[in-house]
């Protein structure tokens, strides 16, 4: 590592706001792209016709369509990121109320409690059960809305956008779990209160996992990431054993929590620091050498599984 860069890293102060983001735009669009590829032309037509009834279709979804890309496909990918588009602005020009009124932060996650074995005599996981409104509960509700013939098309279009997004969120391990310990007596907010240091630059654990597939949102970038996942023999549908083992939203959330415990938290042994308002790189221990490679592999697997499940669910609905 260049000494100048290391010194810069050691001097770095980083700040962040707690939020409920899961995969970044790359992750959500890749999940949607993988599902789109598995849908028939009739299913694609049905979801596309519905999305045209979305109240933000012209303003947020049907925008900046890339050359040589089918408009309906692009709108479908944009719809998967729509719940992040409607978040209230932080430190910038406020978004109009007709955009932010659809925002629901508590829908994006569920805090299934994790307590490391050595803390179970001092921390009671049963005392930290998830709130009633959470991603698992919402996915069931949204599926019901999408299947309802009595519900207005515009409402169903909004439900579809949420459904696309939350199916991606549910498969981001840190959106299914909260770590409780003497360090985190009220929970770590899905890794938002945990600082790790891959290479020399400290980051939030949650943010690190959000960005594991990259940060590009062009169609070319998303198409390439989806191609890479589909070309990986380890990610073939028949080798994704969790597809057969787990079939409910609750089971999928618990599955994500298991991945978080094993790979994000390393069973409570991930080298980390507790976040505080300002933290320098020298305050955070170096991450385990194999952590990033394992995390990258897990992220690709979770997105592959999410793409298959989303495609299957849309087939059953449309």
Is the dihedral angle over the CA atoms 227, 166, 65, 87 positive or is it negative?
Answer: negative
Nearest to 70 by CA among 100, 47, 102: 47
User: Which tens digits make up the pLDDT trace of 253-289?
Assistant: 999 999 999 999 999 999 999 988 788 999 999 998 8
pLDDT at 84: 97
By three-state DSSP, how is residue 104 classified? coil
**Taking 80 as the threshold, does the pLDDT of residue 18 lie above it?**
no
| 172 burial type by CB count under 10 A (0-12 exposed, 13-18 middle, 19+ buried) | buried
Across residues 294-307, what is the average pLDDT?
Answer: 98
pLDDT at 278: 85
Across residues 156-165, what is the average pLDDT?
Answer: 98
User: Which tens digits make up the pLDDT trace of 90-148?
Assistant: 877 899 999 999 999 999 999 999 999 999 999 999 999 999 999 999 999 999 999 99
**Residue scoring higher pLDDT (13 or 312):** 312
Q: Write a three-state SS string for 155-171.
A: HHHHHHHHHHHHHHHCC
Domains of the chain, residue spans: 21-317
**Taking 50 as the threshold, does the pLDDT of residue 9 lie above it?**
no
Indicate the range of 21-35, 55-69, 250-264, 296-310 predicted with least confidence: 21-35
Nearest to 166 by CA among 222, 126, 221, 106: 106
Contacts of 186 (CB under 8 A, 6+ apart): 180
What pTM, to 2 d.p., does this model score? 0.92
pLDDT at 4: 34
**Taking 60 as the threshold, does the pLDDT of residue 1 lie above it?**
no
pLDDT at 276: 82
Q: Which pLDDT band, with edges at 50, 70 and 90, does 22 fall under? A: low
Domain 21-317 fold is P1 Nuclease (1.10.575)
Across residues 222-231, what is the average pLDDT?
Answer: 98
Q: Which pLDDT band, with edges at 50, 70 and 90, does 21 fall under? A: low
By three-state DSSP, how is residue 195 classified? strand
Q: Which pLDDT band, with edges at 50, 70 and 90, does 12 fall under? A: very low
pLDDT at 164: 98
Q: Which pLDDT band, with edges at 50, 70 and 90, does 5 fall under? A: very low
- Helix crossing, 71-85 with 219-231: angle to 10°? 100
Rounded to the nearest integer, the mean pLDDT of the chain is 92
Return the CA Rg of the chain. Answer: 20
Percent with pLDDT over 90 in the chain: 88
| 241 burial type by CB count under 10 A (0-12 exposed, 13-18 middle, 19+ buried) | exposed
Nearest to 81 by CA among 13, 122, 155, 22: 22
Percent with pLDDT over 70 in the chain: 93
CA distance 252 to 143: 15
Instruction: Using the structure block, give the residue that is written with the tokens 């012209």.
Output: 58
DSSP-derived pairing of the beta strands 194-196 and 273-274:
antiparallel
pLDDT at 263: 98
């Amino acid at each position: 590592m260049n000494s100048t860069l290391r010194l810069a890293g050691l001097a770095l102060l980083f700040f962040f706001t707690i939020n409920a983001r899961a995969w970044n735009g790359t992750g959500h669009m890749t999940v949607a792209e993988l599902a789109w590829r598995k849908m028939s032309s009739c299913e694609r037509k049905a979801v596309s016709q519905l999305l045209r009834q979305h109240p933000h279709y012209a303003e947020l979804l049907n925008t900046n369509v890339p050359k040589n890309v089918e408009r309906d496909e692009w709108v479908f990918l944009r719809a998967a990121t729509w719940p992040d588009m409607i978040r209230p602005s932080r430190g910038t020009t406020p978004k109009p109320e007709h955009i932010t009124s659809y925002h629901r932060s508590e829908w994006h996650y569920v805090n299934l409690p994790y307590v490391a074995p050595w803390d179970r005599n001092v921390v009671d996981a049963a005392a930290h059960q998830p709130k009633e409104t959470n991603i698992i509960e919402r996915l069931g509700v949204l599926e019901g809305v999408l299947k309802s013939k009595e519900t207005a098309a515009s409402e169903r279009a909004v439900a579809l956008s949420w459904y696309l997004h939350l199916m991606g969120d549910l498969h981001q391990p840190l959106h299914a779990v909260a770590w409780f310990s003497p360090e985190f007596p009220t929970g770590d907010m899905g890794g938002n209160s945990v600082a790790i240091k891959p290479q020399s630059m400290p980051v939030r654990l949650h943010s690190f996992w959000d960005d594991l597939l990259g940060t590009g949102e062009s169609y070319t970038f998303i198409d390439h990431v989806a191609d890479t996942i589909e070309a990986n023999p380890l990610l073939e549908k028949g080798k994704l054993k969790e597809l057969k083992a787990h079939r409910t939203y609750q089971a999928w959330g618990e599955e994500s929590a298991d991945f978080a415990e094993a790979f994000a938290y390393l069973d409570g042994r991930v080298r980390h620091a507790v976040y505080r308002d300002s933290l320098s790189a020298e305050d955070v221990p170096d991450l385990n050498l194999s952590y990033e490679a394992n995390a990258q592999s897990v992220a690709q697997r979770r997105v592959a599984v999410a793409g298959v499940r989303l495609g299957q669910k849309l087939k059953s609905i449309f």
